[in-house]
Structure 1
């Protein structure tokens, strides 16, 4: 079954996160709307900042006075003039409004971003003589037409009744002013406009000033402000509706879509009958991922179960055919020879030989029945081994003392390498006797006399390795691949003779696995051997088994 890396977020987490994201975006949108409204208010009611005006330097110094890129210079009744300190007025954005000014008058107009404003207050002393005082007032706002909170006041200069400067806070460029100049200086020049000045020098060295005429009447400004605010409000609600749509779409994509996929898979599963694995690929909330994984697991298990069932049916059919064949051959021989003797067909001098054949076939039949019985016992779910802690070195010495003579009687050379090192294993000695007997019996059945049998045991770090090899008849690779399956023998033809039932190595594999070990066939061992059965068993200290 395929494995996919899947997200761990929960369905509840998805809903909470989506809702939280919606609320957060709504809050951010509200905050942004309020902030934008404040900026709009500031942009609507305030003069361009000095930083904004400074961005016009390239246009101004190049004498490109038309269409300066700041809307507030020409919106809501505002307009601007360009004044040369040498040549006078050189450009106006509103030809209907012209205000001829002198260089001195322009120089006293307040500059942009001023932090204070000047007030002109005439008064008389105790003797009745007239004086005027100009006072510098520091403020918290930039508009002379707005309510102003005066942070502090400072004396700037004092004039007599002829508006000559008598005393000043610091040296001044002019010693006398006109009433018009004082009005320009103190934002009292016009009842309609508020004037501000920005000095600059052109690229050819001419000194000039940009004079902004801004209306005192702010009614149109407030209309523009509220118009922009309501436009923003409309956009805000449009964004809220879009967020609701996105929230619904996300929930549908994360929940409804995978449920539909899972529903289709559930409908397909019974129709498929396990012929193909039905797989649901989904990444998302962990609850739906768990459901998908469970479904995929069930689908894979169903397919695996169907495959095993099919294999089991094939195995049963093959087993019945093999058992029938293996039992039929010796029974046929026994029946045929017995009937021949009964009918007197066999000569008296040959009867003893035929009786020996009948006895031999009966022994083969008995061995087959015993093998079938033993294999059926091993395959039974209740079959188990009785493991005890045994010194494997002592066990092998005792085993070969009893089995060595069998090789000499059958005229098979034997090469045994044992060790005196202690090798504690968890072993069922009787069952392991059967393992060695089956491998050795397999060696006798399929190798001619004179074939050398090699036995070696090695103690490794965590296990014991047992090698049983010979230099006899090699095993074909296609047979070696399934040699531990039931009814597989050293040749493909199931003919009578010296071959076994094909169950011996299957029994070996089962017993070794019950000992927590492994058995394998090596068809390319070191020379001069052509095949080797390699058994590995874990040392007792590396095994945990409640059957001990």
Structure 2
């Protein structure tokens, strides 16, 4: 249980650290702080009551406690055509207030008095029918009638109906604006510009510096990983890049992972190039060394007359082997170039396979083997057409058939099968071409790297093992036609090895 909580705490701390390292959050926080510092907020107080006067919401509890439901009728309605008018009357040395409930005529716009009353200095109703039921007003009620919440705030109400039909009353308390306060605010605003402008410039510069600093900061781990990779040739650079991923913002984590993958690909490509150059040098060195030795024997006059014909034949064979190796390497480099474009045609492959098998049979006879074609049990025209480059398909199948004859004992039978592979959707249908032989099979130690360049059945790499480029070229030919090639794990009955080529049906 302790281990569980320890792992949970570790996991939570790591994820919280990753969340706090978010570049977007840091930039957003900077922008929010910048906006808050620049904006001046004007605060108001709002109270919302229902139709019965019960308070539903208040933005200030202190203000809401001073406004009762009985006070609502004293507060002027913002949109109502009725409002209270308060006039001061001088009555023989005493102060009296005349309150009139005025109404506006919607058509003429004339003002009429609906009700009135007169208050004495103590705010007692001495005349009129308005507020006669109260008899006397409090100072707060009298202020509400005048539209004043206090000396600095005004108050008014707004009656409305909700979507569901319920009545609501909105009471709004806001700062009092007078001519003097307005003039004072304008003067203060004009003076404020003298101070606000440099502050705004400083805030803008600080925010810009912070954002630029954050953008530069997040690229430092990647720069360090690249420098480390350059310094040691990729040995520890990849591991350092993976460690650097823990310190970067989560938004850039995919970029770092893609960088690591790219570095792996570059390292593999570089190692592959080194291996190809080393293997090519090894394969060329053997025939060239034989050519040099026999040529020097002729130059020194140390070749017996009876061995001259045999020496000439060996020189010709080694020259042909070196030439074939160079031609094969040139073909491999040509097809591996990104600008190489195959010449694809819509073809039924049955007749093409017969021509290729006939050409391969003449090569197989030299090894004492045989090559034949077997189509599927269905009629040939039912095998759908495919998009193929005839030269690429010919080279691929001749390589497979030639390898089967070269690396197997005499009497090996090589059969090329062709069949249709149905699917639920016509777009997913395939034409399958298989090259199977009855030879000795494939050595397990090279099965996983069979299609890599310079891989042969003879791990000692003698001159009799072939160039090791045949299957690599075959795989490239098939991939250029959007197909796949693989070795069947369970060959057809009666066969030791089966190479399977799947080509998509032409649209």
| TMscore range, shorter length | 0.5 to 0.7
* 1:36 shift after superposition: 5.2
1:267 aligns to 2:220 (yes or no): yes
Kept in 2: contact 1:472–1:529 (CA 8 A): yes
**Which residue is 2:10 aligned to?**
none
1:380 aligns to 2:337 (yes or no): yes
For residues 215-234 of structure 1, give each alpha carbon's deviation from its aligned partner in whole angstroms, at most 9, with x where no partner exists.
x9x99xxxxxx9xxxxxxxx
1:539 aligns to 2:496 (yes or no): no
Inter-partner Cα distance in structure 2 for 1:152 and 1:392: 110
Inter-partner Cα distance in structure 2 for 1:536 and 1:7: 47
* 1:41 shift after superposition: 5.2
In structure 2, relative to structure 1, the CA distance for the partners of 1:491 and 1:408 (3 Å cut) is: closer
In structure 2, relative to structure 1, the CA distance for the partners of 1:415 and 1:151 (3 Å cut) is: farther
Inter-partner Cα distance in structure 2 for 1:262 and 1:477: 52
1:451 aligns to 2:418 (yes or no): no
**Which residue is 2:495 aligned to?**
529
> Which one of the candidate residues 387, 402, 408 is aligned to 1:441?
402
- What SS class does the counterpart of residue 417 from structure 1 fall into? strand
Kept in 1: contact 2:357–2:373 (CA 8 A): no
**Which residue is 1:286 aligned to?**
none
**Which residue is 2:368 aligned to?**
411
Larger Rg: 1
Matches within 5 A, 1:186-335: 262-273=215-226, 274=229, 275=237, 276-277=241-242, 278-279=244-245, 292-293=251-252, 296-297=254-255, 299-335=256-292
- What SS class does the counterpart of residue 540 from structure 1 fall into? coil
For residues 78-132 of structure 1, give each alpha carbon's deviation from its aligned partner in whole angstroms, at most 9, with x where no partner exists.
xxxxxxxxxxxxxxxxxxxxxxxxxxxxxxxxxxxxxxxxxxxxxxxxxxxxxxx
In structure 2, relative to structure 1, the CA distance for the partners of 1:378 and 1:38 (3 Å cut) is: closer
**Which residue is 1:347 aligned to?**
304
**Which residue is 2:485 aligned to?**
519
**Which residue is 2:163 aligned to?**
none
- What SS class does the counterpart of residue 463 from structure 2 fall into? coil
In structure 2, relative to structure 1, the CA distance for the partners of 1:389 and 1:415 (3 Å cut) is: closer
**Which residue is 2:448 aligned to?**
481
Inter-partner Cα distance in structure 2 for 1:373 and 1:39: 93
Kept in 1: contact 2:356–2:398 (CA 8 A): no
TM-score norm. by structure 2 comes to: 0.55
Kept in 2: contact 1:521–1:532 (CA 8 A): yes
**Which residue is 2:105 aligned to?**
none
Inter-partner Cα distance in structure 2 for 1:330 and 1:257: 67
For residues 464-521 of structure 1, give each alpha carbon's deviation from its aligned partner in whole angstroms, at most 9, with x where no partner exists.
1111122323334442222222222223222111x22111111112221111111122
* 1:263 shift after superposition: 3.7
TM-score norm. by structure 1 comes to: 0.51
In structure 2, relative to structure 1, the CA distance for the partners of 1:259 and 1:471 (3 Å cut) is: farther
* 1:378 shift after superposition: 1.8
* 1:429 shift after superposition: 0.9
- What SS class does the counterpart of residue 339 from structure 2 fall into? coil
* 1:7 shift after superposition: 13
Inter-partner Cα distance in structure 2 for 1:410 and 1:510: 26
Kept in 1: contact 2:221–2:248 (CA 8 A): no
Q: Which runs of 5+ in 2 are unaligned?
A: 1-18, 48-57, 72-122, 140-148, 150-207, 230-236, 423-428
* 1:28 shift after superposition: 9.5
Q: Which runs of 5+ in 1 are unaligned?
A: 46-144, 154-215, 220-225, 227-254, 284-291, 542-548
Which structure is richer in relative contact order (CA contacts within 8 A, separation 6 or more)? 1
For residues 290-328 of structure 1, give each alpha carbon's deviation from its aligned partner in whole angstroms, at most 9, with x where no partner exists.
xx34x742x344434433333333223222221211111
Kept in 1: contact 2:349–2:386 (CA 8 A): yes
* 1:329 shift after superposition: 0.3
* 1:264 shift after superposition: 3.0
* 1:337 shift after superposition: 2.4
Inter-partner Cα distance in structure 2 for 1:308 and 1:300: 12
With 481-490 and 433-442 compared, the bigger mean Cα shift is at 481-490
**Which residue is 2:324 aligned to?**
367
Kept in 1: contact 2:356–2:397 (CA 8 A): no
For residues 409-457 of structure 1, give each alpha carbon's deviation from its aligned partner in whole angstroms, at most 9, with x where no partner exists.
5322446321413421112112211111111122122211122323211
Inter-partner Cα distance in structure 2 for 1:326 and 1:348: 30
**Which residue is 1:469 aligned to?**
436
Kept in 1: contact 2:437–2:498 (CA 8 A): yes
